[in-house]
A and B are shown apart, each in its own frame.
Chain A
């Protein structure tokens, strides 16, 4: 109680300019970790996958970056959606991309999505006590076509026809379960992802900004951005 009162009283703030004091008593975003409290998802279709994410990075409640790109390239045909600690997920994605480029050189063929997801899983499971990373690994390969793998916090690996992740995903489980159909084509997937992410961004404080989409097929990735008025709007009280 005293801490809250002391921290918020005008009268007691005279002369306290020490940086240490600011880290302890100042706004929490001066000391909080960067987090992509987030909404991410990926959906398979015949011929590829559609991946999507919001664009907000927060430190505490401050929006540090409102145009973040959470869809990170691993190879030309494999991308990952990052949620959790921004530092952890960036580091993991860099390491996985590095290891897979080696793999490609040695095997003289592009790695499969399953392999990429397995490398993610190895890392996330081995260092599970030190990391905060919820990752969706999705892409296209010649053997199995479009695939979506989700690797949540403890380092599990599971392939799913579609998956949602991040703090905003909790608000849209009902929506995706009610609206998913297995025979979606590419544009139907894009609409499904846009509507889902728009709903999650509306309800979750840690998600927002623009909707970034990626459509991965045998021809590589086609990136789209949905911003401003084009973002779907639903009931807003």
Chain B
């Protein structure tokens, strides 16, 4: 079993009309065994900027903490909120610093630009290669299933309520076909003036 599948987990992010959504499962496991059903892998990095970190759970926690540290220093020096695209570069740099002994996480970034409110999503491999598409990004143990679900369900310019439905269905039906993810879901819908968090009731097997 690969080190990236040891704890399990999946994160999806999607772009909508003037909004973005990021969603993840809640399982923390040790290979086949479930440990808890309330594990957090999405972290708030700004009022409209969220970071998902699927992969090895210890690195999820460490990378989130180290990134928050760098982000705080940035905001103190620049005296403004960071833009999602810039944050993406910070994450990439942090991961590439460990090129030959990497953190075993594959980040997913979702946010709105603080000035223009333009939606932004990004995902990376474990050494920081960024990928910034126009539609959706997925990372985790059921990427193949998630890509299939997103490719068929996503369409451009979804309103926040429709985006919520779409990302929830994509997430749940993807992780229901994976033995290492699931056991609950959480979805963040990020709009220019508010962020809505919803917990999904899912099958717990």
* Chain B: minimal CB distance from A134 (Å): 15
- When the two chains form their complex, are residues A66 and B176 in contact, meaning their CB atoms are under 8 A apart? yes
Known: A10-B125, A37-B32, A203-B33. A62 touches B178 (CB 8 A): yes
Cα separation A5 to B96 with both chains bound (whole Å): 12
* Chain B: minimal CB distance from A154 (Å): 22
Contact of A202 among B8, B142, B204 (CB under 8 A): B204
A1-44: CB near B (< 8 Å → 1, else 0) gives: 10011001111000000000000000110000000010000000
* Chain B: minimal CB distance from A212 (Å): 14
Contact of B106 among A8, A66, A237 (CB under 8 A): A8
**A61 proximal to B (CB < 8 A):** yes
- When the two chains form their complex, are residues B176 and A205 in contact, meaning their CB atoms are under 8 A apart? no
Residue among A10, A58, A171, A205 having the largest count of chain B Cβ atoms under 10 Å = A205
Q: Which residues of A contact B203 (CB under 8 A)?
A: 208
The interface residues of chain A, by DSSP majority, are classed as loop
Known: A203-B34, A206-B179, A208-B203. A10 touches B3 (CB 8 A): no
* Chain B: minimal CB distance from A44 (Å): 27
- When the two chains form their complex, are residues A205 and B31 in contact, meaning their CB atoms are under 8 A apart? yes
- When the two chains form their complex, are residues A201 and B126 in contact, meaning their CB atoms are under 8 A apart? no
* Nearest-neighbor residue (CB-CB) of B39 within chain A: A237
- When the two chains form their complex, are residues B205 and A209 in contact, meaning their CB atoms are under 8 A apart? yes
Contact of A9 among B125, B141, B204 (CB under 8 A): B125
**B36 proximal to A (CB < 8 A):** yes
- When the two chains form their complex, are residues B179 and A56 in contact, meaning their CB atoms are under 8 A apart? yes
* Chain B: minimal CB distance from A24 (Å): 13
Name B's A-contacting residues (CB within 8 A): 2-5, 8, 29, 31-34, 36-38, 100-102, 104, 106, 125-127, 129, 131, 141-142, 144-145, 176-180, 183-184, 203-205
Given A8-B4, A9-B129, 4 other A-B contacts at CB below 8 A?
Answer: A10-B131, A61-B179, A203-B33, A236-B204
